């Protein structure tokens, strides 16, 4: 999976002529009042916020801690590299999803499953849709629930019941209501966590050079512990980076297609910036903070998360609030896109609400290692058809460089 991802990311980085250089134009467009012309969708900002909600989640906290535990401090560097190179892939899948949509169940939907169907790979479209729905149950419900129960010192069953109750209330709002909730929730929680993390780093600023040195030496050196340590850093950094930003899975394209924006190129550029915020900014800051606190290969991920904010007044409360908001945003975002995948299959998906809520409830008490392994399997199953679509349709992707130069 690592090699497939890196080849895909590098291919689109060169094909789209290092589109990362337009990151700040994409950020500006995400919040511009002149965007969109959306008539049939939720708008670019709402789609951006919902997509950011699925990516900025427990992967930015517990996922980073798990990556450091498995691959050492060097995994932080490779998460950052993965995020930087993944941005063109996110642009490509978002652009194609917005360009090729289909009417299903009274709604205009787009995404990997739609394009696979148009290409004649109907069985593969069904396969991807099924695993997208499973991704909702594991990556969108069970793993976030387990992450929250690990971070908060309360009874795990109580945590699961709390999240299940929140989801019952949210699901009743419908998909349009979920988009509005994401638009309000995501900016507040992201900025709050970023400020708190930077405050932790500032309080122990003298330890920053040593932490950066450990990250770089662990990422690039193969001498101290042999090639195995180097390979572990790469593997865990990239796989956890994928879980965090989801570029290459095709899931982000579903939410991008919801925007209804007529300016597909700029809207895809906006969608691309979710990977920048998620992995290039948030995961990097979180990883540095964890390494400064002493985290390394073999460290307990739960203890790393709990100890990181101990230097701040009310640090435990900040962690609990941040984790709760991140988990909730991830859940409602994944619920949204999983419902769309099922809508493509059957036109109806009412039964999935109960399955999703149950996954959130029981996920709080299941072993974290099993849930992460299941999430990795689902990631891989979604990745292969999505990459097939990207390469088959790569010639249909607009060269945004020409559009921006013209403007």
Token code pair at residue 104: 């299903």
- The better pLDDT of the pair 246, 102 is held by 102
In this prediction, residue 229 carries a pLDDT of 47
Which of 23-27, 52-56, 107-111, 257-261 comes out lowest in average pLDDT?
52-56
SS3 state of residue 107? strand
Helices 301-308 + 62-71 axis angle, to 10: 130
In this prediction, residue 328 carries a pLDDT of 85
In this prediction, residue 345 carries a pLDDT of 83
- The better pLDDT of the pair 314, 381 is held by 381
SS3 state of residue 302? helix
Cα separation of 96 and 288, whole Å?
35
Kindly report, residue by residue over 234-251, the tens digit of the pLDDT: 555 566 555 566 777 888
Answer yes or no: are the C-beta atoms of 244 and 277 closer than 8 Å.
no
Identify the CA nearest to 61 among candidates 244, 219, 232.
Answer: 244
Identify the CA nearest to 80 among candidates 187, 263, 255, 216.
Answer: 216
For the segment 331-352, the average pLDDT, to the nearest whole number, is 82
Give the DSSP letter string of 224-288.
SS-HHHHHHHHHHHHHHHHHHH-TTTSHHHHHHTTS--S-HHHHHHHHHHHHIIIIIIIIHHHHH
Split at pLDDT 50, 70, 90, the class of 299 is confident
pLDDT at 340 over 80: yes
Which of 129-143, 155-169, 333-347 comes out lowest in average pLDDT?
333-347
Q: Measure Cα distances from 26 to 31, 115, 265 in Å.
A: 9, 24, 10
Which H, E and C letters describe 56-68, residue by residue? CCHHHCHHHHHHH
Cα separation of 211 and 65, whole Å?
15
Tell me the pLDDT of the chain averaged across its residues: 80
CATH number reported for the structural domain that contains residue 225 in this entry? 1.20.1740.10
* Domain assignment present for 7: no
pLDDT at 153 over 70: yes
In this prediction, residue 240 carries a pLDDT of 58
Answer yes or no: are the C-beta atoms of 352 and 133 closer than 8 Å.
yes
Q: Measure Cα distances from 363 to 97, 145, 194, 353 in Å.
A: 31, 6, 27, 15
Residue with tokens 């708190």: 196
Answer yes or no: are the C-beta atoms of 390 and 89 closer than 8 Å.
yes
Cα separation of 325 and 328, whole Å?
5
* Domain assignment present for 304: yes
In this prediction, residue 33 carries a pLDDT of 59
For the segment 100-109, the average pLDDT, to the nearest whole number, is 78
Split at pLDDT 50, 70, 90, the class of 302 is low
Cα separation of 239 and 16, whole Å?
24
Answer yes or no: are the C-beta atoms of 85 and 10 closer than 8 Å.
yes
* Domain assignment present for 99: yes
For the segment 24-47, the average pLDDT, to the nearest whole number, is 69
* Domain assignment present for 174: yes
Answer yes or no: are the C-beta atoms of 87 and 55 closer than 8 Å.
no
Q: Measure Cα distances from 290 to 166, 184, 296, 339 in Å.
A: 30, 28, 9, 35
In this prediction, residue 359 carries a pLDDT of 93
* Domain assignment present for 11: no
Cα separation of 95 and 104, whole Å?
20
Answer yes or no: are the C-beta atoms of 316 and 127 closer than 8 Å.
no
Cα-to-chain-centroid distance, residue 305:
19
Answer yes or no: are the C-beta atoms of 259 and 41 closer than 8 Å.
yes
Q: Measure Cα distances from 74 to 2, 12, 58, 81, 202 in Å.
A: 16, 25, 20, 11, 21
Kindly report, residue by residue over 265-289, the tens digit of the pLDDT: 888 888 888 888 888 888 888 888 8
Count of domains forming the chain? 1
Cα separation of 281 and 295, whole Å?
19
pLDDT at 176 over 70: no
Indicate the length of the chain as a whole number. 407
SS3 state of residue 379? helix
Identify the CA nearest to 369 among candidates 358, 380, 381, 377.
Answer: 377
pLDDT at 333 over 70: yes
* Domain assignment present for 112: yes
In this prediction, residue 221 carries a pLDDT of 64
Split at pLDDT 50, 70, 90, the class of 34 is low
Helices 2-15 + 227-245 axis angle, to 10: 60
pLDDT at 193 over 70: yes
Q: What is the residue range of 358's domain?
A: 42-406
* Domain assignment present for 92: yes
pLDDT at 225 over 50: no
Contacts of 24 (CB under 8 A, 6+ apart): none
* Domain assignment present for 13: no
In this prediction, residue 102 carries a pLDDT of 83
């Amino acid at each position: 999976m690592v090699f497939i991802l890196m080849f895909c990311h590098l291919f689109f980085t060169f094909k789209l002529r290092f589109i990362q250089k337009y990151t700040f134009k994409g950020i500006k467009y995400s919040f511009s009042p002149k965007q969109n012309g959306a008539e049939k969708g939720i708008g670019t900002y709402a789609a951006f916020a919902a997509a950011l909600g699925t990516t900025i989640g427990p992967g930015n906290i517990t996922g980073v801690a798990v990556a450091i535990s498995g691959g050492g401090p060097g995994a932080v560097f490779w998460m950052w590299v993965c995020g930087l190179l993944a941005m063109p892939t996110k642009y490509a899948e978002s652009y194609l999803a917005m360009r090729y949509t289909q009417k299903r169940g009274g709604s205009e939907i787009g995404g990997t499953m739609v394009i696979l169907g148009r290409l004649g790979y109907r069985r593969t479209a069904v396969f991807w849709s099924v695993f997208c729905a499973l991704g909702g149950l594991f990556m969108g419900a069970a793993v976030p629930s387990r992450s929250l129960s690990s971070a908060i010192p309360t009874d795990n069953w109580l945590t699961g019941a709390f999240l299940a109750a929140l989801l019952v209330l949210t699901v009743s709002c419908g998909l349009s209501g979920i988009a509005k909730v994401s638009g309000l929730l995501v900016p507040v929680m992201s900025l709050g966590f970023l400020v708190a993390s930077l405050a932790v780093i500032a309080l122990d600023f003298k330890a920053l050079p040593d932490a950066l040195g450990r990250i770089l030496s662990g990422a690039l050196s193969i001498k101290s512990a042999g090639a195995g340590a180097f390979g572990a850093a790469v593997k865990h950094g990239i796989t956890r980076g994928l879980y965090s930003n989801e570029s290459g899975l095709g899931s982000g394209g579903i939410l991008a297609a919801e925007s209804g924006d007529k300016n597909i190129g700029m809207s895809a550029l906006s969608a691309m910036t979710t990977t920048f915020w998620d992995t290039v900014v948030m995961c990097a800051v979180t990883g540095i903070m964890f390494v400064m606190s002493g985290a390394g290969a073999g460290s307990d991920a739960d203890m790393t998360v709990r100890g990181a904010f101990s230097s701040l007044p009310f640090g435990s409360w900040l962690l609990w609030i941040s984790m709760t908001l991140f988990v909730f945003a991830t859940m409602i975002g994944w619920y949204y896109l999983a419902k769309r995948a099922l809508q493509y299959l059957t036109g109806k998906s009412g039964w999935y609400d109960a399955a999703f809520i149950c996954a959130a409830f029981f996920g709080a008490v299941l072993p974290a290692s099993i849930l992460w392994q299941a999430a990795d399997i689902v990631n891989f199953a979604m990745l292969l058809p999505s990459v097939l679509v990207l390469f088959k349709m790569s010639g249909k992707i607009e060269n945004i460089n020409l559009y921006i130069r013209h403007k």
